[in-house]
Amino acid sequence: MSIIIHFSPYKIFVPILLLLAINIPVCAEKKSGPIPVVKLFQTFTAGSDSCIIPFSRAGNLILIRAKADTTEGNFILDTGAPGLVLNITYFRNYPVTTDTQEEQSGITGTVLAVKKTEVGKLVFDCVSSNAITADLVNLGHIENVRGVKIFGLIGLSVLRQFEMIIDYENSLLYLYRIPKKNASSFKSSLLKDASAYNTVPIEIWNNKIVTRTTMAGKKLRLIIDTGAESNMLDSRLPNKIFENVEILRRIKLTGAGDKKVEALYGNLNNLTIGNQNTGSLPVIITNLEKTCLADNSCIDGILGFDFLSLHKIGFNFVNNKMFIWK
């Protein structure tokens, strides 16, 4: 079976069967120098301390209404993107610069230069950010698959001052602004009953959420990605990991330039995050070497919608914690 990948600098979109898009994040690579650290509490203006945002879905992608300067529409909530990404179709009149020190690459090895611009103001509900740098990409492939206008992606750096809780069952996004004072002890009202959820440590790596776990004696580093519609494992992992995978079929992923890579599709069992077993999760297995950074730091896999939607799930991006409801 051959599956076409619609490539963008942040995601590789794989339409399967009834327009099921499997969305795979790729890493922004700096050719030299350290990864920049996001400065918290710097760009957000005063406003409500919390908000509840109803969201819709395009497939399994979360859509929220946001406004970049005077342009308003659907933006994908995408923690797999490092920051704000704008669809160049609707922002083509913005001034563009090209970052020669940064590039994006995907699993087929395709490399693209990074085009950047600046937005005067980004607003969605209680979030308001001024003078924010954005990447410009063509998101037409998502629009074509999903049949909806997508104006951009809201990535992790936009949310770094917040506690965020996603309730997929009721299509609600909870955001709580974490105050500078007592930030280390902050908990929203939804987290008062500590017996209702498990707390799992996370890391922010290259502006992406990473959690660590162990399977079959192997330590794994996994990206948590709200913009991924399926899960993924690196095929270079030890064979003992794949003893926990029920392989259903072999597939081919086709990237930019019709370059193809082989992959396997199946169900992953016995994965534990924190102290919770995830049960059986659909997974794609392919070589993720091309998504590694220049210092050879790599991820072992991605956890997307099939994991995130199992329970109500939350994140504190200041204290680096994930909350998984029981």
In the chain, the N- to C-terminal Cα span, in Å, equals 37
Does 164 have pLDDT greater than 80?
yes
User: What DSSP assignment string belongs to 27-91?
Assistant: -EEESSSPPPPP-TTSSBPS--SEEEEE-EEETTEEEEEEEETTEEEEEEE-TTSSSEEEETTT-
Token pair of 10, please?
């942040």
pLDDT score, position 298: 87
Does 250 have pLDDT greater than 60?
yes
Q: Is the pTM of this model over 0.75?
A: yes
pLDDT band, residue 168 (cuts 50/70/90): very high
CB 58 within 8 A of CB 150: yes
pLDDT band, residue 34 (cuts 50/70/90): very low
The pLDDT tens digits for 85-114 are 999 999 999 999 987 666 555 555 555 678
Which residues, in sequence order, are CB contacts of 37 under 8 Å at separation 6+? none
Angstrom distances, CA of residue 93 to CA of 65, 90, 116, 170: 21, 8, 12, 38
Mean pLDDT for all residues in the chain: 83
Residue 301's identity, in one-letter code, is: G
Strand partners, 75: 64, 152
Does 76 have pLDDT greater than 60?
yes
CA 233 to chain centre: 15
Q: Which of 17-26, 134-143, 226-235, 313-322 has the lowest mean pLDDT?
A: 17-26
pLDDT score, position 12: 40
pLDDT score, position 295: 66
Distance CA 72, CA 75 (A): 9
Which percentage of the chain shows pLDDT scores above 70?
78
CB 145 within 8 A of CB 6: yes
The pLDDT tens digits for 176-206 are 999 988 898 899 999 999 999 999 999 998 8
pLDDT score, position 38: 36
Q: Identify the DSSP state of 142.
A: H
pLDDT: is 25 or 213 the higher one?
213
Q: What is the mean pLDDT of residues 21-34?
A: 39
Helices (runs of H) and strands (runs of E) counted in the chain: 3, 29
pLDDT score, position 15: 33
pLDDT score, position 145: 84
Which residues, in sequence order, are CB contacts of 83 under 8 Å at separation 6+? 132, 133, 134, 135, 155, 156, 157, 158, 207
Does 317 have pLDDT greater than 70?
yes
Q: What is the mean pLDDT of residues 317-321?
A: 96
pLDDT score, position 219: 96
Classify strands 111-124 and 61-68 as parallel, antiparallel or unpaired: antiparallel
Residue 257 phi/psi, 5-degree rounding, is 75, 15
User: What DSSP assignment string belongs to 16-30?
Assistant: ETTTEEEEEE--EEE
Distance CA 316, CA 93 (A): 36
Distance CA 255, CA 262 (A): 11
Helices (H), 125-282: 140-146, 239-242
Name the burial class of residue 123, with classes exposed (0-12), middle (13-18) and buried (19+) by CB atoms within 10 angstroms of its CB: middle
What count of other Cβ atoms lies within 10 Å of the Cβ of residue 97? 12
Highest mean pLDDT pick, 183-187, 257-261, 293-297: 183-187
Which residues, in sequence order, are CB contacts of 74 under 8 Å at separation 6+? 56, 58, 63, 64, 65, 148, 149, 150, 151
